[in-house]
Structures are given as C-alpha cells and as structure tokens.
Amino acid sequence: MKRIIHTENAPAALGPYSQAIEVDNTLYVSGQIPFVPETMQIISEDVQDQTKQCLENVGAILREAGYEYEHVVKATVFIKDMNDFPKINEVYGKYFEKNSPARACVEVARLPKDVKVEIEVIAAKLK
C-alpha cells in the first residue's frame, strides 16, 4: 500500500509531487532544497547553511513517517558547483556519522530557485 507523507515541518512541495511516499517499509523522500519551512525562503547563500537546511528538511519528513537518519540507505546530492563538495561533505557527515548510506553526488547546471544544493533520500526499515 502507498502512503503519502506530508509535514508542516518541511517546505511545501513546489509542484505536483509529495514530500515523500512510503511503500512496503521503504520511504522515498523527494529532493529537499534549503527552504526554511515557516517562510519558504532560502536559509542563506552559504553552501554549508544550505546543506544543513536540506538535511533538516529531510529529517522532518523522515520523522513524520516514523523513520530516522539511520534508516537512510541511499542519498542523492545535487550540487551547483563541485568545488563545494568538501564543504557539503563536512556538514553531510555530521548527519551520517556511522553506517553511512550509499550516495551519489552530481553537479548540475541549475537547481530550483537557484539554490546550491538539493538532497533526496531513500530510507528503509527491516521487517
């Protein structure tokens, strides 16, 4: 069965998609950009602040669905400039200190609202 996840503690979707969908104990979290949920504004221009806000938004969605960061099995990080990779990694590593998920990191030409980073995850619970 498919369950749609929505929380006011993460930014509202900017288009026709859900914040997350759960199917068979697997949660698919849509890409999160660095919007502050209360204002729907970008946190700042600093890539580390943006990375932290993306991961905080992911965390709010995970918790709403009954998951935690430790349940994340795959992450995809989209970045505007690969030169920011070390700064992004520094913040990212604080959220996944042990049993880090599989991950892809891709430099892209442009992200929504011209942010510097977007992060999506897949989380799973063993039965």
DSSP line for 64-104: HTT--GGGEEEEEEEES-GGGHHHHHHHHHHH--SSPPEEE
Count of other CB atoms within 10 angstroms of residue 62: 23
Query: Would you please indicate which residues are annotated as catalytic (active-site) residues?
Result: 105
